Each structure stands twice: as structure tokens, then as C-alpha cells.
């Protein structure tokens, strides 16, 4: 049913089998939407995907997501038009509703601490975007802001002394910060050699990244740094971002 | 123990009874900190309060809240230095850890919907601050942005057809948005008659406000619009905000 193509203005609303399978409105390169792909895949919850062209949104999409945002998760058994938005809220909802494979810690204090780290990860995300979308070179201070923010995560992973933030497998914190870590090397492609994570300074995080890439859920939505960088270039330089650039690859295995 | 005075640079770290009572680091006029007062009071959880002078933070406070933020909640039985920050994360933690009086809905979907409304309330908060702290009159468009954002809440309350968002008593959504509603009339005092909520347009929200003011938890942290406005004036015009302006009133009943 899903070709991987992003639906645009003028498109017909998608049709779904008449069942209660969840419906995820997503965009192939959106890190916030990827959070929900990761949660659904890690929890092995079946779902249908509809990709949305965010520059030319389908008219019918306003009914699914009044502010036009992805990710939006439609939950048929809650009644017609029952949709949730906001990646962290959707992720928490799924973890509560489908507790067979739990991603949050059962310990409320540990869960709260992990959520605070997700919140603090915004201080990595902000300079990341400033650098990536700058058209006038690297904004002063942004690179050091980016790596200093990452220090907090390197320190925490070292203190936990486990392969993942979640222990011997990824938990909610791992998955919520992953999309930007997957994209980190797109920075190198965008700004050149000036950006390279110091192997000693980020010893634990770099090992963590190597482990994350082997995770089954991560593999399912994985996009290479080269392709992330290409998409960013299309967003910066073309009339419309090239949402469908991976459509023909949709059938190929994405990672060995 | 707590005089209501805000502790500053050079102060001694507060001492506490040797027990597991929660410790809330707060600021008397901070709406985010008030969220946690409301949750603790609504759930009847005992706690100690330490007020922090945010302009001249005590040296010892960095150990409690590394980014220097209030609210910070110290949880002695989690071990030394176990503190949580971020108002929404603390509120969720408390609701999970102390389930006797539940503030979130037991239904995961309804809980997620309420959390989305709390998130959307940021579109009320942003223009509110722009108006309140402007020194050059009302910024163009801000007042209409403020009331348009409030329309969403008026509409939702009308649709729920209950006195509170939580039904016949306040729930987490009611308490999380309350601090700014308590402060809404400070706008009138700051900008004059140009601001007055239309009685028909906001029929349900205005009734809701009248009901909220009677709530026992709300009464405990309530500050009048006049005092909120006075504090804002001190923040705009004086070398230091007048954090301690209500200290002498701490013993007086705050509401009839």
C-alpha cells in the first residue's frame, strides 16, 4: 500500500484496511517522526505509514493533524479522527498502551531522569540545526556549543557503564536522541573537516553509535549520512525539498 | 523553618529534618514552580519549600539544580543529591509515584490528549510574556495572538461540558495551565483597558477560573493579580526583582 512517496496537495486521502492497525503520518527525513518509527519498530507494533509532503500538504491532512505537524498517529479504535501529535507524547502513549516490550524504566525516578536527558538533548539539537542550515558558513560558537552539549551525554553514558543508556539494550532515551545522532555525520558533509567528533573525548558515545546501528529497530528507519546531507542540500537549494529521493530504494535492504 | 524569604548568594545551605520529606526549590512568583506546588498540594504530599533568589543564586544551589533552574525537586530517599527538574517531568513523576490521588487520566489516550493541550498552551504563554515584559507598549498582533490561542481552550472546555478539564474536579491539565490563568489579569494592570477577556467569547473559561479559585490546592499558592503585576513591575524597573514582597504576608490568609 505504501510506496514511500510523500502525498501532496491535491492527493486523495489514503485508504486503509478496515481494522484497528495504527496509522503513522510521517516524513521520511523528519527526526521527530523517526522517533515514532523507532518506538513502533522496537515494540514490534504493526502500523501503516503515510508520508506527507510538508511543503505542499494534502488538504485532507488538516483533519488528521490540525497544526499540520508530523509525526501524527491515528488510532482507529479510539473513534474517527482520533489522532495524537508531539513525538514525546506519542512515544509515552505507546509505551503505556503496549507494555509487552517496555522502553521506559519501570522505576519512576529513573524514568524521570531519562526524560530530563531527552529534554537536555535540545541543547544538542539547536546548534546542530544552526550549523546545518546556515548559508554563510558555520555560525560562530555553534560547533563548540554542539560538542559541549554532547559532553553531558558522553559523561552520562560513561557513568552508567553500559553499552546503551538503557543498559544492555536501547531504551526510550536511546531512541529519542538517536535520530540526530544518525544525522551527526551529515554535519561533516555540510561543513567539511572542521567537524569531526574527537575519538577520545567521545569514546563512549562513538561506541554507542556503532552498537545502535546494529539494532533491529534502528536499521528499519536508517538513512545514511550521505543521503541525509543530500536531503538537506535539496532543502537549502531547491524550490522544494526532495522528499521522494529514496522512493526507488524503498525496496532495497537499507543496511548490511 | 521556611520564612518565605528567597535565599541568595552567600547564604548557608538549608537544613532539613532527617527524614524522607520531599524538598521543593521554588521561587514565589515562578509559574513553572507553581505547577509543582499545585500538584503536591492537590495530591496532599508533604514537602519542604526553599525559595531561591534567581538573580543572585546561592552557590550551593548548583549542586541541587545544575542549570540553576526552579522548580527542582529533591528526593531524599533516592540518595544524596537526587534532584529532578522540568516542571512537566516532575509533575508526571509525582503522579506515578503517589497514585493515591491521581491527576492524570487512567486512560492512556485521554492522558496523551491532555498532555497535548498542555503543550499547546505554550501558544498562550508566548504572547503573554511578550506583552507583559514589553517596555514599548503592546507588541503588534500579540493581544490577538493571545486570545486566539485561548479560543482553543474555551472550545475544548465547552466540548467537554464539565466544570473543569478534568471533569467535576481539576486534573493535571487544569493545574498545568492554571499559573498563567491566575496571572492573566496582571495583563490588564500592565497594559490597561485594551485587555479584557470577552465575557461571551470566553464564557466557559471565565466560569472555570471562578471555580479554580475555590480549589483548595489553588488557594495554597494563590497570589492576586495586583501582586503579580507589582512583581512584574519590580522585575522590569528595579535592579533586582522584589522576590520577598510577600514575605510579611506569608502568615495571612491569602484568599477569603
CATH number at residue B26: 3.40.30.10
- Domain count of the fold of chain A: 2
Residues 6+ apart with CB under 8 A from B5: B51, B244, B247
Secondary-structure percent of chain A, ordered helix, strand, coil, rounded to 5: 50, 10, 40
The distance of B118 to chain A (nearest Cα, Å) reads 11
From the list B89, B116, B119, the residue facing A116 with the nearest CB is: B89
As a whole number, mean pLDDT of residues A74-94 equals 95
Backbone angles phi, psi at A161, to 5 degrees: 55, 40
> Among residues B6, B33, B15, B19, which one has the least CA distance to residue B182?
B33
Task: Kindly list the residues from chain B whose CB atom is less than 8 angstroms away from the CB atom of residue A119.
Answer: 86, 89
Count of other CB atoms within 10 angstroms of residue B127: 22
* Interchain contact, B112 vs A92, CB within 8 Å: yes
* Interchain contact, A109 vs B85, CB within 8 Å: no
Q: Which residue stretches of chain A are H helix?
A: 31-42, 61-64, 87-97, 108-120, 122-132, 142-160, 172-182, 184-191, 203-212, 216-221, 225-237
Interface probe for A, chosen from B105, B109, B114 (most Cβ of A below 10 Å), is B109
> Among residues B2, B53, B3, B1, which one has the least CA distance to residue B247?
B3
* Interchain contact, B93 vs A84, CB within 8 Å: no
> Among residues A136, A106, A140, A142, which one has the least CA distance to residue A124?
A142
What pLDDT score does B253 carry? Answer: 46
Please tell me whether residues A16 and A91 are part of one structural domain: yes
Q: Return the bridge partners of B52, or none.
A: B7
* Interchain contact, B93 vs A85, CB within 8 Å: no
Which residue has better confidence, A42 or A4?
A42
* Interchain contact, B112 vs A90, CB within 8 Å: yes
How many CA atoms within 13 Å lie on the side-chain side of A158? 12
**Degrees to nearest 5, angle at CA A198 with A195 and A202:** 120
CATH number at residue B187: 1.20.1050.10
What does the alpha-carbon distance between residue B239 and residue B253 come to, in Å, rounded to a whole number?
Answer: 30
The verdict on A78 touching B (C-beta cutoff 8 Å) is: yes
- Pick the catalytic residue from B22, B30, B54, B246: B30
Backbone angles phi, psi at B52, to 5 degrees: -115, 130
Please tell me whether residues A55 and A77 are part of one structural domain: yes
The distance of B163 to chain A (nearest Cα, Å) reads 23
Please tell me whether residues B131 and B47 are part of one structural domain: no
What ipTM was reported for this prediction?
A: 0.93
* Interchain contact, B108 vs A96, CB within 8 Å: yes
Count of other CB atoms within 10 angstroms of residue A131: 21
What pLDDT score does A250 carry? Answer: 53
Please tell me whether residues A145 and A248 are part of one structural domain: no
As a whole number, mean pLDDT of residues A158-172 equals 98
The verdict on B96 touching A (C-beta cutoff 8 Å) is: yes
The boundaries of the domain holding residue A250 are 1-102+230-255
Please tell me whether residues B159 and B139 are part of one structural domain: yes
Please tell me whether residues B185 and B240 are part of one structural domain: no
* Interchain contact, A78 vs B109, CB within 8 Å: yes
Chain A residue with minimum CA distance to B92: A112
Q: Which residue stretches of B121-256 are H helix?
A: 122-132, 142-160, 172-182, 184-191, 203-212, 216-221, 225-237
Please tell me whether residues B142 and B172 are part of one structural domain: yes
What does the alpha-carbon distance between residue A149 and residue A134 come to, in Å, rounded to a whole number?
Answer: 19
Residues 6+ apart with CB under 8 A from A76: A16, A19, A20, A21, A22, A23, A82
Q: Return the bridge partners of B68, or none.
A: none
Could you tell me the strand order of the sheet in which B22-26 lies? B6-7, B47-52, B22-26, B72-74, B83-85
Is B181 one of the annotated active-site residues of the chain?
A: no
Please tell me whether residues B77 and B117 are part of one structural domain: no
What pLDDT score does A256 carry? Answer: 38
Interface probe for A, chosen from B76, B79, B81, B108 (most Cβ of A below 10 Å), is B108
Please tell me whether residues A54 and A137 are part of one structural domain: no
How many CA atoms within 13 Å lie on the side-chain side of A214? 8
Task: Kindly list the residues from chain B whose CB atom is less than 8 angstroms away from the CB atom of residue A36.
Answer: none
DSSP string, B37-86: HHHHHHTT--EEEEEE-SSS--TTHHHH-TT--S-EEE-GGG-TT-EEE-
Task: Kindly list the residues from chain A whose CB atom is less than 8 angstroms away from the CB atom of residue B112.
Answer: 84, 89-90, 92-93
Which residue has better confidence, B190 or A208?
A208
Q: Return the bridge partners of B6, or none.
A: B51
Tens of each residue's pLDDT in chain B, 256 residues = 467 899 999 999 999 988 999 999 999 999 999 999 999 999 999 999 999 999 999 999 999 999 999 999 999 999 887 999 999 999 999 999 999 999 999 999 999 999 999 999 999 999 999 988 888 888 899 989 999 999 999 999 999 999 999 999 999 999 999 999 999 988 887 777 666 788 999 999 999 999 999 999 999 999 999 999 999 989 988 888 999 999 976 554 444 3
The verdict on B107 touching A (C-beta cutoff 8 Å) is: no
CB of B152 within 8 A of CB of B143? no
* Interchain contact, A112 vs B84, CB within 8 Å: yes
CB of B97 within 8 A of CB of B90? no
From the list B78, B90, B112, the residue facing A89 with the nearest CB is: B112
CB of B120 within 8 A of CB of A88? no
As a whole number, mean pLDDT of residues A202-227 equals 97
What does the alpha-carbon distance between residue B88 and residue B233 come to, in Å, rounded to a whole number?
Answer: 28
The verdict on A218 touching B (C-beta cutoff 8 Å) is: no
Please tell me whether residues B122 and B212 are part of one structural domain: yes
What does the alpha-carbon distance between residue B127 and residue B133 come to, in Å, rounded to a whole number?
Answer: 10
Q: How many A/B residue pairs have CB atoms within 8 Å?
A: 52
The distance of A56 to chain B (nearest Cα, Å) reads 24
What does the alpha-carbon distance between residue B130 and residue B89 come to, in Å, rounded to a whole number?
Answer: 25
Please tell me whether residues A73 and A9 are part of one structural domain: yes
Instruction: Please give the DSSP secondary-structure letter assigned to residue B249.
Output: G
Interface probe for A, chosen from B67, B93, B112 (most Cβ of A below 10 Å), is B112
Could you tell me the strand order of the sheet in which A47-52 lies? A6-7, A47-52, A22-26, A72-74, A83-85
From the list B75, B92, B119, the residue facing A86 with the nearest CB is: B119
Please tell me whether residues A97 and A177 are part of one structural domain: no
> Among residues A98, A104, A85, which one has the least CA distance to residue A45?
A98
What pLDDT score does B250 carry? Answer: 53
What does the alpha-carbon distance between residue A134 and residue A191 come to, in Å, rounded to a whole number?
Answer: 10
pLDDT tens-digit readout, A10-32: 999 999 988 999 999 999 999 99
Positions of A marked catalytic: 30
What does the alpha-carbon distance between residue A160 and residue A77 come to, in Å, rounded to a whole number?
Answer: 40
* Interchain contact, B92 vs A82, CB within 8 Å: no
What pLDDT score does B133 carry? Answer: 84
Q: Given the DSSP bridges, would you call strands B47-52 and B6-7 parallel, antiparallel or unpaired?
A: parallel
CB of B173 within 8 A of CB of B166? yes
What pLDDT score does B236 carry? Answer: 86
Q: Give the DSSP H or E segment for B89.
A: helix B87-97
Residue A196 has pLDDT above 80, yes or no: no
Amino acid at each position: 500500500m505504501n510506496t514511500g512517496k510523500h502525498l501532496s496537495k491535491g492527493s486523495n486521502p489514503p485508504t486503509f484496511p478496515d481494522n484497528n492497525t495504527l496509522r503513522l503520518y510521517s516524513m521520511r527525513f523528519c527526526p521527530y517522526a523517526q522517533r515514532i518509527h523507532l518506538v513502533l519498530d522496537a515494540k514490534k507494533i504493526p502500523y501503516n505509514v503515510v508520508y506527507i509532503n510538508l511543503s505542499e500538504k494534502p488538504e485532507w491532512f488538516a483533519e488528521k493533524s490540525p497544526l499540520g505537524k508530523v509525526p501524527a498517529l491515528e488510532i482507529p479504535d479510539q473513534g474517527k479522527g482520533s489522532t495524537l501529535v508531539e513525538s514525546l507524547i506519542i512515544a509515552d502513549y505507546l509505551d503505556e498502551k503496549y507494555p509487552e516490550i517496555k522502553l521506559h524504566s519501570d522505576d519512576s525516578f529513573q524514568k524521570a531522569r531519562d526524560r530530563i536527558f531527552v529534554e537536555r538533548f535540545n541543547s544538542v539539537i539547536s546548534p546542530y540545526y544552526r550549523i546545518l542550515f546556515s548559508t554563510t558558513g558555520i555560525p560562530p560558537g555553534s560547533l563548540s556549543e554542539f560538542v559541549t552539549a554532547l559532553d553531558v551525554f558522553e559523561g552520562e553514558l560513561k557513568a552508567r557503564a553500559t553499552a546503551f543508556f538503557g543498559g544492555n539494550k536501547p531504551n526510550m532515551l536511546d531512541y529519542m536522541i538517536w535520530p540526530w545522532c544518525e544525522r551527526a555525520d551529515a554535519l561533516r558533509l555540510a561543513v567539511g573537516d572542521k567537524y569531526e567528533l574527537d575519538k577520545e573525548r567521545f569514546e563512549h558515545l562513538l561506541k554507542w553509535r556503532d552498537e545502535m546501528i546494529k539494532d533491529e529497530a534502528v536499521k528499519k528507519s536508517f538513512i545514511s549520512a550521505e543521503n541525509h546531507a543530500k536531503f538537506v542540500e535539496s532543502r537549502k537549494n531547491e524550490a522544494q525539498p526532495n522528499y521522494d529521493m529514496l522512493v526507488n530504494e524503498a525496496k532495497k535492504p537499507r543496511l548490511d
